[in-house]
Structure 1
Amino acid sequence: MTPALMGDDGVAAGAAGRSLHDTAVLNGDAACVAQARRRAAGFLDLARAEHGVPVSRRACDLLQLVVSELVTNACKYAGGPIRLDLRIASGLVEVAVRDGNPALPVVGTADASRVGRHGLEIVSAVCRSFEAVAEAAGKRLTARLPLTEGAAA
């Protein structure tokens, strides 16, 4: 699976005023979390190299962490198929993960004595925004991260 940057109109991205995006469908097997992380890193690498988008090392690391947490939960609680959408616009990278389980997750409160189930706490702590929305055939989890430390709110 090689990332491909596309504009909002489905043609090659990079022209002024267009966001950059990429979509992948994952089958929900044991390898899909690593696939999703590689896809996210490749997406930012292409945005930087081919379109001159400023991307910090921290943004790349955090995006891979967020993608890993969201896709892991989708694999664990919904199975496949899982849709991963990545989009860059207005100094942010947006990751959306869609799966077929309609149950919306709840971000837990911090509890150092709890073993596991901290993924969404981590996601909400490192992201500019996080939301979970019910859809006709499941749910969509969306997180937004700044591409650089100085990105606009």
Structure 2
Amino acid sequence: MREPEPSGREDAAPAGRAWQTSVALHGAGTDIAQARHLAADFLARGQAERGLRVSRRGLDLTQLVVSELVTNVCKYAPGPALMNLRIDGDVVEVTVWDSDPVLPVARGADADRVGRHGLEIVMAVAQGFEARLERCGKSVTARIALTDDPAGTHQGDPH
């Protein structure tokens, strides 16, 4: 399977304004790790090129959400998919689109259930969550705060 490649859709908006990048996903298990690395690289570029403040927690939660959403696509939505990362102020929006028109549903808490907790995790750590039907398939968006408190801000390379 091919690796996800940036689509070239990175927005060149001035510092302080919304900007984004997108990547096509190919349904391979390697998409998960590569999407997580893309998210970390995107946030690192935001820090280096735009002075974006990203706490360690913001980076970790972004990578967790990316991992969970892309895992769901790889497991349950065969076909093409797209991940979009968009930063607006101190929030990153992670949107994953796939061609499956079935909206995800979070299950109730069940300590005995093995697996299938990803959506619950995303909804617990995100500031906002939305799943909606699209003209073709669906999109799932989670919004994650990039900073927590000024003392916890990580200014170095997020890797």
Q: Which runs of 5+ in 2 are unaligned?
A: 151-159
Is the 8 Å Cα contact of residues 68 and 122 (structure 2) preserved in structure 1? yes
Query: What is the aligned partner in structure 1 of residue 153 from structure 2?
Result: none
Is the 8 Å Cα contact of residues 6 and 21 (structure 2) preserved in structure 1? no
CA distance in 2, matches of 1:52, 1:80: 37
Change (3 A) 1:4 1:60: farther
Identity %: 53
Aligned length: 146
Which aligned runs of 4 or more in structure 1 are off by greater than 6 angstroms? Answer: none
Point out which structure has higher relative CO (alpha carbons under 8 A, 6+ apart): 2
Is the 8 Å Cα contact of residues 28 and 74 (structure 2) preserved in structure 1? yes
SS in 2 for 1:36: helix
Could you list the per-position Cα deviations for residues 94-132 of structure 1 after superposition, in whole angstroms to 9, with x for gaps in the alignment?
000000000001011211111111000000000001111
Change (3 A) 1:51 1:65: same
Query: What is the aligned partner in structure 2 of residue 56 from structure 1?
Result: 55
Shift of 1:4: 6.7
Query: What is the aligned partner in structure 2 of residue 97 from structure 1?
Result: 96
CA distance in 1, matches of 2:119, 2:75: 14
Alignment map for 1:36-115 (pairs within 5 Å) = 36-115=35-114
CA distance in 2, matches of 1:3, 1:39: 12
Query: What is the aligned partner in structure 2 of residue 146 from structure 1?
Result: 145
Shift of 1:90: 2.6
Shift of 1:5: 7.9
TM, length-normalised to structure 1: 0.89
Matched, 1:20 2:19: yes
Change (3 A) 1:5 1:102: closer
